[in-house]
Structure formats: C-alpha cells, structure tokens
Amino acid sequence: MTATNTSTKKRFRAVHPFVPWLFVGPAVLLSIATIVAPFIYAVIMSLRGVKVAGGGLGRREEVFVGFANYINAAFNAELWTGFGRMLIVGVITIPITLGLALLFALLLDTPRVRLARFSRIAIFLPYAVPGVIASLMWGFIYLPGVSPIRELAASLGLAQPDFFTRDSIFWSIANINIWGGVGFNMVILYTALRGISSELYDAARVDGCTELQIAWNIKLPLLLPAIVLTALFSLIGTIQLFSEPTTLSPLTDALSSTWVPMMLVYRDTFVAQNLYGGAATSMLVAVLTIAASVLLFWITRRRSAGGLA
C-alpha cells in the first residue's frame, strides 16, 4: 500500500507546476487583452478631461478631473430619459421572449413530437441574422410605401398601422428583439431540459401524470437556473440596446440620437468628440448593468431558498 502511494506521488510530481498555465494561459491573456485592458483604459479616460491653457487661441491639455465627468453624467437628464425608454422596451421584450422560448422548448421536449430538428433550426435561425440586418429588414416591413403589412391592411379595408409613432416605436423595436432572441433562449432552455433524467418523466407517467402536469411540476422547477440565466442575458441585452434604434432612426423622427443610453454614449464619444464624458457615461451604464445582474441573482436565490425552506 505504501509502495502504491509513493508511486502515485511520484506521478503527480512528474507534472511541472507550469503545465496547467499552458492550458488556461491563452484564455487568461485573451481576457486581459479584450476585457480587462479596455475596462481599465475606459476608467482612466473617464477621470480625465481637457483644459485650455495659454494665451491667444490657447493650448488644449489633457488633465486629471477626478469624478467631474461622472457627476455630469449622473445629472444628465438625457441619460435617465434614455433609461426610461430602455426600461419600457425591456418590459415588453423580456417576458414575451422568455415566454415564447420556454413554450417552444417544452413543446420540442414532448415525446413523439414531429419535425423537432427542423423546428429547432427554424426557431433559432433569426438569431443568426446580425442585428443591423434584422433592423433593416424590419425597417422595410414597417416603412410606409413599401410595408406589406400596411398594404394588406389597406386591401382588407382596415386602418393602416403606423409603426413609427412615438408610442408604437417601442413595440416596433421590441418586436425586432423578440424575433431575434427567442431562438437563442429556446436553445438554452431546451438543452437544460435534455439534461434532466428521463427516469423522472417515466416515474411520473407511471403515476398517471399528464404531459402538462410533468411540465408544470417537474420540468419548470428544474429549469429555474436556466430561466434565470436567460433572464440575465435578456436583461444585459436590453441595457445594451443600440443597433435597432440607431438603424431605424433615419426612418422616423420618433428616435432621437440619445433615445437609449448607448446611443447617448455613441453621440458624446464619436459625434461630439467628448471622449472623457462618453467614457464616464459608459462606465456608469456598466456599473448599473452589474448592479441589475447582482440584484436579479439575489432575488432569485432568496426565492429559491424560500421555496426550499
């Protein structure tokens, strides 16, 4: 026994401590280069500003301004108005997206379902379309003069819908997000369903449970972690809303250049050339995103702990 333990220790000692870093090193370096370094650079930029010094036309100098950019961003009314619009889009988008994704995942997981593979691909396919392309495609469907929906409504003698009013634009943008997001979330939920042991379903059927009862009493509780994950992805996606309103903005006056927070960051940074203010606003959005994610996990864990208690 002693000889066996000695042999095992020798085998473990044969592996050089540097070897594990060879496996994780590329991922660590990639994370530092693409996440950590830009984050630190944005923080540095957000703490700096421009000061005009000297006589005549003066000389622009980059100086340290502390939290002045953050204070300006926090008291910018356009930022919080944009958050309000983003919240309305999220309230429309997230429940419908997750509800449809959950419904499709449960239907595809039922026994004896037909055309399951084709249905999965068909539902997932819109997610493969880039957001800008999807926005352009839906823009043509919404645009008066070329909209097939408006022509269909006119041919049926119905009132032609206007997708670009200040109220309907929320639904128009939410529709694009739902169209592109259902497939992605459905794949996550469907994969989680396939990981549940089929023995649980067999035992429930032996006890006389219907497929609806199995879905409600077994699948949904076990799917809760995956549902939280998809909710988190949808929340982050909503906060990062940018390409859809930016692409549609030339088609309507209902979308301003600061309609949502990320459009405000883009305008300040690349149009107004206020790099420092844009960096501060982006960091503020990032902090709020992290806070919203942590709050979602905290609420979910408390509800789970309450359910288990």
Tokens read off for 183: 């497939």
Half-sphere exposure of 210 (CA within 13 A, CB side): 3
Cβ-based neighbours of 147, under 8 Å, separated by 6 or more? 140, 141, 163
Residue 63 three-state SS? strand
Please answer whether residues 232 and 293 qualify as being in contact, where contact means their C-beta atoms are separated by less than 8 angstroms.
yes
Only one residue has tokens 């008066």, namely: 144
Tokens read off for 15: 């592996």
Q: Where are the alpha helices (DSSP H) in 128-260?
A: 131-142, 148-155, 168-194, 198-206, 211-214, 220-239, 243-248
Predicted confidence at residue 20, as pLDDT, reads 80
Q: Interhelix angle for 77-108 vs 168-194, to 10°? A: 40
Predicted confidence at residue 96, as pLDDT, reads 96
Please answer whether residues 156 and 107 qualify as being in contact, where contact means their C-beta atoms are separated by less than 8 angstroms.
no
Predicted confidence at residue 14, as pLDDT, reads 66
> What distance in Å separates the CA atoms of residue 248 and residue 260, rounded to the nearest whole number?
13
Tokens read off for 133: 């392309």
Residue type at position 269: T
Phi-psi region of 208 (alpha: psi -120 to 50; beta: other; left: phi over 0): left
Predicted confidence at residue 307, as pLDDT, reads 53
Each of the 309 residues of the chain gets a pLDDT tens digit; together they read 455 555 555 555 666 777 888 888 899 999 999 989 999 999 999 999 988 776 666 677 888 999 999 999 999 999 999 999 999 999 999 999 999 999 999 999 888 788 888 998 999 999 999 989 999 999 999 998 889 999 999 999 999 999 999 999 999 999 999 999 999 999 999 999 999 888 888 898 888 888 889 999 999 999 988 998 899 889 888 988 999 999 999 999 999 999 999 999 999 999 998 999 999 999 999 998 889 888 877 887 776 666 544
* Burial of residue 191 (number of CB atoms within 10 Å: 0-12, 13-18, 19+): exposed
